[in-house]
Amino acid sequence: MKLAIASDHAGYEEKEKIKASLEKLGVDYTDMGTNSTASVDYPDYARKVGEAVAAGEFDLGMLICGSGTGMAISANKVPGIRAAVAWNEEIARLAKEHNNVNVLSLAARYTSPEENERIVQAWLNASFDDGRHAGRVAKIGQLEEDAKR
């Protein structure tokens, strides 16, 4: 599994902590920026990760900003991306199991580093539960197709 990770300035320090956790878990990741706490525009980094995941260069993506919301909204504008903000382990697990979320967005300002580590593990360990959810996820793709027309 290959993962793309990025943050804005508010999420930079948390991203560095998460990278250490990913290394412990043996996850192959690529850091797509930012590389400091200097102010940047989060949509630029959400786009980088979203496009790389949608193109199949990476299996999954992870984004970190102050609340997680701006990054998720931005990533969801990329066709093929299903991004969700997770603020606890259960939300992360359900996002993967029910929605086949391929980009996880985390809140650096509102979730502790310890909780973010547990959220990441829960999301990475979960699997999409095809069954009754497959048709619903397919409808998300259909919404994207309809929007192109």
Distance in angstroms between the alpha carbons of the first and the last residue of the chain: 34
Q: Which of 98, 99, 121, 137 is catalytic?
A: 98
Distances 91 to 9, 41, 87, 88, 149 between C-alpha atoms, Å: 25, 26, 7, 6, 33
Q: Which of 5, 6, 53, 65 is catalytic?
A: 65
Specify whether 65 is catalytic.
Answer: yes
- Separation between Cα atoms, residue 105 and residue 67, nearest integer Å: 9
HSE-CB at 137 with a 13 A cutoff on CA atoms is: 19
Residue 62's DSSP bridge partners are: 5, 104
Q: What residues act catalytically?
A: 65, 98
